[in-house]
Structure 1
Amino acid sequence: MKWIYVVAGAALYLKMLFSPGMAAETADLAVVQIVVEESGVPNAVSGIIFRNRLYDTIFEVVVFTLAVLGAKFLLVDEQPHATVRQFDDPPSVVLARLGATIAALISIELAIRGHLSPGGGFAAGVAGGTAIGLIAITSSPVWMESIYQRWRAATLEKAAVLVFVLISVFSLVGYTLPHGELGALIGGGWIPVLNILVAIKVALGSWAIISIFIRYRGLL
């Protein structure tokens, strides 16, 4: 059977190597240009996610919300872990917090300018969650929980989801903001707002999951 896989792999490689791709590339560029013109943002990926397939994106956000609720539901009956494994040597703490600072700045950049350049709400949320995770493994769990409660992160996360769904419904039924000038920071209709809402949702949802696993598992 191995020789069949070898022959199939070689045939696929030769097909990719010698088959012409100029027509496909030209068609792809035309599709990208259409998406940019219709969405009003230079980042065609953001245009597709928050306009052409916004219906799918709504359910992606809902699925992530259910994942956070599922983590809480599955671990809520367990006893909190007595010890938490963390970085305690000074070099590791400094590097982790430096990385958290960089990740947080990248998260803000991706959320605000995600419709203009590569990035967007999901990438910004992942970067924000990474920053929170790096802080969590170098800080007291009690302090992290107090910050989470003080800023009402759970309420803000749920509010971001509700506002995202509401704006998405407005966009789907045809109530959109003016696109403005292509390439401008304030432009692109609802897309910049949706980017920021998704970033908040993903970052705070990641924070909730991180806190749950630290509390009940003692590690990330």
Structure 2
Amino acid sequence: MKWLYILAGLALYVKILVMPNPELDVADLSMVQAVVDDSGVPNALAGIIFRNRLYDTIFEVVVFTIAIMGVRFLLADEQPSKKVHRFTDQPSIVLARLGATIASLVSIELAIRGHLSPGGGFAAGVAGGTAIGLIAITSSSKWMQGIYQRWRAAMWEKISVLVFLVLAAITLVGFELPHGELGALVSGGVIPILNVLVAIKVALGSWAVILVFIRYRGLL
């Protein structure tokens, strides 16, 4: 089997040496401009995700939701861990919470400006989930669970999914909000709203998974 890997690596190396590098076709750049014009946002990737390939994005959100449900289902029969491992030394706590502050600010920036610059709802949700994870490894699990329940995070997660699906269905039918001025914060029709909804969904879903792992495994 090792020789098979070596031969595959050599074949890939020969392919890189023999085959020429693809040349950039300047005419292809017109497609990017067409996406920007159709979506009304400078970030062509956001236009593709939330407009041209909105079907794919819908199912990505659904798959993420099913993954969260799967984690809860698979660990539901296990006994909660008696000991939760977390950072207790002050330098680690300070650094983790500083990182959480930075990650949360980045999350907000990516969510509200993801249609204008590189970023978007999924990246914003990952940054938000990272911030929550950094807080979780330096705080009491009961305190984290109490905040999760007090702010009804599970309910808001479900609401964000439902609103996203409704807005996506309306968009796919053919109804769109005015695009506004290209490059403005309030522009791109429904795309900025979908960005924020996805960010909320991913961040709150990550929070739920973190709490489940802490409860049943004692660590992240």
Which residue is equivalent to 1:122?
A: 122
Matched, 1:137 2:140: no
Cα RMSD (Å): 1.4
% identical equivalent positions: 69
Counterpart secondary structure, 1:167? helix
Which residue is equivalent to 2:182?
A: 182
Distance in 2, Cα, partners of 1:27 & 1:176? 29
Give the 5 Å matches for 1:66-81. 66-81=66-81
Give the 5 Å matches for 1:93-132. 93-132=93-132
How many residues are treated as equivalent by the alignment? Answer: 217
Counterpart secondary structure, 1:22? coil
Distance in 1, Cα, partners of 2:9 & 2:48? 38
AA at the equivalent of 1:13: I
AA at the equivalent of 2:105: L
Which residue is equivalent to 1:22?
A: 24
AA at the equivalent of 1:133: G
Give the 5 Å matches for 1:1-220. 4-5=7-8, 7-15=10-18, 18-23=20-25, 26-220=26-220
AA at the equivalent of 2:13: A
Q: 1:11 deviation in Å? A: 2.8
Q: 1:12 deviation in Å? A: 2.0
Q: 1:15 deviation in Å? A: 4.3
Q: Which runs of 4+ in 1 moved over 4 A?
A: 1-4
- Residues 114 and 6 of structure 1: CA distance in aligned 2, closer, same or farther (over 3 Å): closer
Distance in 1, Cα, partners of 2:29 & 2:86? 48
- Residues 6 and 190 of structure 1: CA distance in aligned 2, closer, same or farther (over 3 Å): closer
Q: 1:22 deviation in Å? A: 2.7
Distance in 2, Cα, partners of 1:55 & 1:65? 16
AA at the equivalent of 1:143: W
Q: Which blocks of at least 5 consecutive residues in structure 2 are unaligned?
A: none
Q: Which blocks of at least 5 consecutive residues in structure 1 are unaligned?
A: none
- Residues 20 and 132 of structure 1: CA distance in aligned 2, closer, same or farther (over 3 Å): closer
Q: 1:8 deviation in Å? A: 2.1
Structure 1 residues 170-206: Cα deviation after superposition (integer angstroms, max 9, x where no partner): 0000111000111010010100000000000000000
Q: 1:9 deviation in Å? A: 2.4
Counterpart secondary structure, 2:117? coil
Q: 1:145 deviation in Å? A: 0.4
- Residues 27 and 81 of structure 1: CA distance in aligned 2, closer, same or farther (over 3 Å): farther
Q: Could you tell me the TM-score, scaled by structure 1's length?
A: 0.95
AA at the equivalent of 1:12: K
AA at the equivalent of 1:208: A
Structure 1 residues 103-133: Cα deviation after superposition (integer angstroms, max 9, x where no partner): 0000000000000000000000000000000
AA at the equivalent of 1:128: G
AA at the equivalent of 2:69: L
Q: 1:74 deviation in Å? A: 1.0
Counterpart secondary structure, 1:83? coil
- Residues 84 and 42 of structure 1: CA distance in aligned 2, closer, same or farther (over 3 Å): same
